[in-house]
Amino acid sequence: MALRIFEPRYTRMVKEVCASDGSFVICMLNARGNKENNTHIHSIGTRSKVIDFDILEDGLLGITVEGVEPVRVTAISTENDGLRVGQCDKLTDWEIDIDDNIEPMDSRLKEIFEKYPEVNGLYSSPQFDNPIWVIRRWLELLPVDAQQKQKLLEEKDCSQALSFLRQLIE
In 116-144, which positions are buried (b, 16+ CB within 10 angstroms) versus exposed (e)? eeebeebeeebeeeebbebbbbbbeeeee
Q: What is the pLDDT of residue 85?
A: 96
What digits encode the pLDDT tens for the residues 38-62?
Answer: 999 999 999 999 999 999 999 999 9
Q: What is the pLDDT of residue 96?
A: 81
In 53-72, which positions are buried (b, 16+ CB within 10 angstroms) versus exposed (e)? eeeeeeeebebebebeebbb
CA distance 146 to 160: 16
Q: What is the pLDDT of residue 102?
A: 85
Residues 83-93: what's their mean pLDDT? 94
Cβ of 111: how many Cβ atoms within 10 Å? 11
The alpha carbon of residue 48 and the mean position of all alpha carbons in its chain are separated, in whole angstroms, by 8
Q: Is the pLDDT of residue 99 over 80?
A: no
What digits encode the pLDDT tens for the residues 104-162?
Answer: 999 999 999 999 989 988 888 899 999 999 999 999 999 999 999 999 999 988 999 99
CATH number of 2-90: 2.30.130.40
Selection from 88, 84, 89 nearest residue 37 by Cα = 84
Q: What is the pLDDT of residue 34?
A: 95
* Portions of the chain given CATH number 2.30.130.40: 2-90
**Higher confidence at residue 76 or residue 170?**
76
CA distance 62 to 6: 9
Query: What is the percent of the chain where pLDDT is above 70?
Result: 98
What digits encode the pLDDT tens for the residues 17-27?
Answer: 999 999 999 99
Residues 83-103: what's their mean pLDDT? 86
Q: What is the pLDDT of residue 100?
A: 66
